Amino acid sequence: MEAECGTDRLVEVSQSIDADIYVNVQGDEPLIQESTIDKLVQAKIDNPGKVVCAMTSLDSSPDCVKVLVSGDSSTLSRKLYKQVGIYAFNKADLQEFERLGEGRESIEMTKFSSNRLLFVEVDDTQAVDRLEDIEKVERILWQKRM
């Protein structure tokens, strides 16, 4: 099988390396913080039956995948979030991912039913979706060096 996405590659890894939790950080998220990974791992430990996905407050960019999370059904207002390219799985999740085949809209997590997904709010990140985003990331990295 040729890996078409990061989660496909993680499926391959899980077949040769045994672990309790596998974390997939997408390549377009070069500035993910250790605390974000820790938060997702803890959410996976606390919710082993869920596929854990990171999200931050809404970005108006057309390149980011938006997530609508409804809380208490009596609440009339809803806040929009954007998906961040970092996910936490266990081996059973990855086996299911492989078995499910193609997702919708080329968004990996659409393979899972919505009740299997747990979105965890994390600090905002700077994804690289367009050429101009590279300059933003370079500026941030340069500022961190100073």
Higher pLDDT, 16 or 112: 16
Decide if pLDDT at 128 tops 80: yes
Residue type, 9: R
Q: What is the mean pLDDT of residues 63-74?
A: 60
The residue segments making up the domain with residue 92 are 6-145
1 within domain boundaries: no
For 48, residues 6+ apart whose C-beta sits below 8 A from its C-beta are: 90
For 30, residues 6+ apart whose C-beta sits below 8 A from its C-beta are: 128, 137
Tokens 């500026």: give the residue: 139
* CATH code of the domain in which 33 resides: 3.90.550.10
Q: What is the mean pLDDT of residues 11-19?
A: 95
Whole-number Å distance between alpha carbons of 35 and 52? 15
Calculate the average pLDDT of the chain.
84
Structure tokens at 108: 């990996």
**Length of the chain (residues):** 146
Residue type, 113: S
**Into how many domains does the chain fold?**
1
Beta strands in 6-109 (DSSP E): 22-25, 51-57, 66-68, 80-89
36 within domain boundaries: yes
Decide if pLDDT at 77 tops 60: no
Decide if 91 contacts 21 (C-beta within 8 A). no
Decide if 128 contacts 76 (C-beta within 8 A). no
42 within domain boundaries: yes
Give this prediction's pTM: 0.78
